[in-house]
Amino acid sequence: MSDTKKKLAFAICQYLQDNIKDGTIKTDDVEGIEVAIQCIGEAFGVDPADAAQQEQYSIKPANLVSVFDVVLATQRKLSEKAEAAKAAAKATAEPAGPTPEQKKAKAEELKAAGNKLMAAKSYAEAIAKYTEAIELDGANAVYYANRAAAQSQAGDHHAAAADARKAIEIDPKYSKGYSRLGHALFCLGEYSESIEAYEDGLKIEPGNISMINAVKAATAKLETSPAPRAGPSAGGMPDLGGLDFASMMSNPDIMRMASQMMGNPQIAQMMNNPQIAQMMNNPQIAEMMKNPQIAQMAQSLMSDPDAMKSMLDNPALASMAAGLGKK
């Protein structure tokens, strides 16, 4: 048997004897432990009471507990090193980005920088800073409202209105979102919508003098603005004397008839007749045009200007056309 095993057995026996001496082992258990010491000694051929063996096998001043502590400490250090190595490898393979808190802090720095640029009237640079802040924290209504203000100052009122609406979408209780929207719409000449935006803001902040005065200004503009002139409508379609041009464009029969009419100057002149305009604007006419026979009759009639004129000169038919136009 090797000396290493004998030393370990000897150390175990000494450890048990030391615990008997210091009272760690209860009196009732002492006898059993002494029997265990004797059995271990006989099995490994060691005797803790033998002076020669004490000199040969004892590990004092160390003992079994101190040796075990060293082993545990070594294991702990090795485990810590292994974990550190894993973390380092992971950091190298996948660089960690900024935390959400870091992003928010950086966004606030960018907003502050944008505010300074606004004060310096450097609007394009301010817009760039607010945009960077939005990229880091897109759920902050203030950043959109601030960028809206910068865009209005830069003359881009459409973009300002879009940002103001986004601010309101994020935080419907943020009054500056409505104020920014009202200003952008005012600058675009959309006075009714501007008034509505300011009034929504005043529901949140009733005593806001700036918005109260803005409502007055928009109201005055609305009252003094000229009536819309004939020309392109809000949807981009021309105003043709009351004709529902959008509905006509969607009717293939009318479009086919219109194609024929474009080459005939007499037909073009007749289209200025208010009775024809009233008839063409009536939804009943559009419904009737779905009937193939009616459509064919209308096509034949429209291709013969003299027949159309004769029909309109007929008092009974003219009265019927006027009646359809009023419905």
Confidence band, pLDDT 50/70/90 cuts, at residue 310: low
What is the residue whose two structure tokens read 């980005």?
Answer: 97
Q: What is the mean pLDDT of the chain?
A: 79
pTM of the model: 0.46
Res. 312 pLDDT band, cuts 50 70 90: low
Question: What tens digit of pLDDT does each residue of 216-266 get?
Answer: 999 999 998 765 544 443 333 333 334 444 455 555 555 556 555 555 565
Measured CA to CA, the distance from residue 132 to residue 98 in angstroms comes to: 15
In which band, very low, low, confident or very high, does the pLDDT at 23 lie, cut at 50, 70 and 90? Answer: confident
Which of 43-57, 153-167, 235-249, 292-306 has maximum average pLDDT? Answer: 153-167
- pLDDT bracket for residue 116 (50, 70, 90): very high
Read off the pLDDT of residues 141-181 as tens digits, 9 standing for 90 and up. Answer: 999 999 999 999 999 999 999 999 999 999 999 999 999 99
Per the listing, tokens 């064919």 go with 296
Supply the pLDDT for residue 4. Answer: 85
For the chain, domain boundaries:
3-64, 101-224, 245-326
Residue 129 has pLDDT above 70, yes or no: yes
**In this structure, how many other beta carbons lie within 10 angstroms of the beta carbon of residue 138?**
12
Compare 304 and 26 and report the one with higher pLDDT: 26
Asked if residue 133 lies in contact with residue 111, where contact means CB atoms within 8 angstroms, the answer is yes
Q: What is the pLDDT of residue 219?
A: 96
Q: Quick one: average pLDDT of 137-143?
A: 96
> In whole angstroms, what is the distance from residue 192 CA to residue 22 CA?
96
**CATH architecture of the domain covering 3-64:** Up-down Bundle (1.20)
Q: Which range among 55-64, 155-164, 189-198 shows the weakest confidence by mean pLDDT? A: 55-64
73/282 Cα distance (integer angstroms): 96
Counting residues of the chain whose pLDDT is more than 90, the rounded percentage is 39
> What mean pLDDT comes out for the span 103-119?
96
The CATH fold assigned to 101-224 is 1.25.40
Residue 163, C-beta contacts closer than 8 angstroms, at least 6 positions apart: 144, 145, 147, 148, 151, 180
